Amino acid sequence: MIKIHQNYPLKNSNSFGLESDANIFIEADDLGELITALKNSNIDLSNPLFLGTGSNIILSRPNIGTVIHATNRDVTILEESRDSVLIKCGAGKDWDEFVEWTVSRGYGGLENLSLIPGSVGAAPIQNIGAYGAEVALCVESVLAVDLSKLHQFTLSKEDCHFGYRDSQFKRSESSLWLVWEVIFQLEKDPRVNLTYKPLKEAFPENHRPDIREVREEVIKIRRSKLPDPAEIGNAGSFFKNPVLSACQAGLIRENYPDMPIYYHDPGTVKVPAGWLIEACGWKGFREDKVGVFPRQALVLVNYGGAEARDILDLAEKIVQSVKSTFGIKLEMEVRIV
């Protein structure tokens, strides 16, 4: 089914709660109908916004143009072996609902990514990650639609070119690719991932938790640190954790020996952006309608009535502060539209 709305308000469609409107807002749960509708219309597809739950964007303009919102939520088991299962999921499915679906059936691989806001379709675009895991580890392939040609195609895991909070879908040449379905390969005899030290320390030393216990602990940790967008406007983690050479990190730790570092790739380490921001004194900062969340310095919040410019101005002040103190340039994780 296709629904096409005109002059559609987007305030309730983005987790920062920013005011904006779409000239055309399309809801679609059937790919064939969507392609047919677009072929037989004069809808402007030169710069569309593909909107899931709006949990990782800043709407910086009062008018967005054309917005396409996938509402296909079906979950289908495609293939099973003794050790693994292939599962197809529609892009419109709520991400955490899908994770709960997999965990409740004993399929492992996504439990560390519990409670991350967003839709299934957004997961491979951002290559979402948390607590030592990334969705790229479980993606088998992605079905997408090229709106410049209105035809569908499949990308293998390798074609997606996954990186840290990155994928082929974020490249300029892929700007008209709409993710429609994602196929995941999950384990039927799961090996839990406790590489993230605080998660490992949450369990007794001699206890090997199952994926249900890992999911519940991840949810507990996230709820203790992160604000609910339904209560305070936010987009979760606002900045990426910077990746430094081991040499650069070592030089910084000569002056800041308590700076945490985590192995990334050979010769490189990750530094928690939240630690850098907190070390610069921004945690809990508030300036009128915007601020830094008191329990997690990585989260910028809209206390009500803020505009995109207010949030971006605060973000720039934080970037400059961290740069001045540590010589590290923070990159935003959220997307500015």
Among candidate residues 182, 181, 293, the one with its CA nearest the CA of residue 229: 293
Of 55, 114, 165, 307, the active-site residue reads 165
Instruction: Please tell us whether the domain made up of 2-70 is placed in CATH 2.30.30.100.
Output: no
Q: Which two tokens stand for residue 182?
A: 């994602």
Q: Provide φ and ψ at 274, rounded to 5°.
A: -60, -40
- Helix and strand element counts for the chain (H, E): 8, 20
pLDDT of residue 265: 82
What are the pLDDT digits (tens) for 1-29?
A: 899 999 999 999 999 999 999 999 999 99
213 is catalytic: no
What are the pLDDT digits (tens) for 250-308?
A: 999 999 999 999 888 888 999 999 999 999 999 999 999 999 999 999 999 999 999 99
What are the pLDDT digits (tens) for 140-157?
A: 999 999 999 999 999 999
CATH fold of 75-187 = 3.30.465
Query: Mean pLDDT across the chain, nearest whole number?
Result: 96
In the chain, domain spans: 2-70, 75-187, 233-336
Cβ contact 183:78 at 8 Å: yes
Q: How far apart are CA 35 and CA 58, in angstroms?
A: 28
CB atoms within 10 A of CB 176: 17
Q: pLDDT class for 63, splitting at 50, 70, 90? A: very high
What average pLDDT does the segment 200-216 reach?
Answer: 94
Q: How far apart are CA 59 and CA 238, in angstroms?
A: 14
Largest CA distance in the chain: 64
Cβ contact 138:130 at 8 Å: no
254 is catalytic: no
Of 20, 55, 114, 237, the active-site residue reads 237
Q: Which two tokens stand for residue 213?
A: 């216990």
307 is catalytic: no
Statement: residue 337 has pLDDT above 90: yes
Q: How far apart are CA 253 and CA 56, in angstroms?
A: 31
Of 140, 253, 333, 335, the active-site residue reads 333
CATH top class, domain 233-336: alpha beta
